[in-house]
A = this chain, B = another copy of it.
Amino acid sequence: MTKDIFVTKLGQLLAGWQLLCPEAECYETIEQLPMLRASELIYWLHVDANQQDWMCDSIDFLKKLDATAKVIVLANVPEQQEAMLAFQHGALGYTHAYHDPVVLSQVRQAVEFGGVWLGQDVLRQLIQVGRKLSERGADSIEQTLKQLTPREREVAIRAAQGLSNKSIASELEITERTVKAHLTAVFERIGVKDRLQLAIRINERLSS
């Protein structure tokens, strides 16, 4: 069955955690974790305020250790920004470390069954961004890119991402000269001077 592993500097389980899963293991650092694991694991990462770096590194570490690892972050001082970071690095849950066992249990179950758990404020932040993407971003960019031929689009997108002509060429397996040719056409069609303007044009659609 699924097993719980807590990593906390406190050195022992909080009362709430103990109620949640009495058989959990507890370690003070990720380095102390045993390497080989048989069962499916849920890692609970307890982070204090301003430990984003450690948190990210730890999640990365756990993911590398065990690709199927499910990581839940327990934040002493929950912050939206930190939550976003955690999810970016592959955490599946982010919640207050001192929530009562009932809530932690929801989090655990959601994660165990392949879902994720996040607070409403984090969701709202994500949604807000998502809306911008679908309102302005996608549409306008498509509008802009629709003027181009398929090949030109491929080149334009890569150029806008900051790739050099040489990189684009080798990625598309064509000559650098051809890349230039496509780009010249793109600039003309889109109405920009160079790749910098192109990048701004394509990326700016999405900002603020």
Contact = CB atoms under 8 A, between A and B. Distances in A.
Most buried by B among A95, A105, A126, A197: A126
The dominant DSSP class at the A interface is helix
Interface residues of A, number: 50
A107 interface: yes
A206 B95 CA distance: 25
Contacts of A110: 106-107, 109-110, 115, 117
A133 to B, nearest CB: 5
A115 B109 contact: no
Interface centre among A85, A137, A197 (most CB of B within 10 A): A137
Interface in A84-140: 84-85, 87-88, 92, 95, 102-103, 105-107, 109-110, 113-120, 123, 125-127, 129-134, 137-139
Given A133-B208, A196-B199, A106 B109 contact: yes
A32 interface: no
Given A92-B120, A117-B115, A203-B200, A130 B137 contact: no
Nearest to A123: B116
Interface centre among A103, A129, A203, A207 (most CB of B within 10 A): A207
A202 interface: yes
A115 B119 contact: yes
Contacts of A120: 92, 114-116
Contacts of A84: 127, 130-131, 133-134
B162 A196 contact: yes
Contacts of A203: 199-200, 203-205, 207
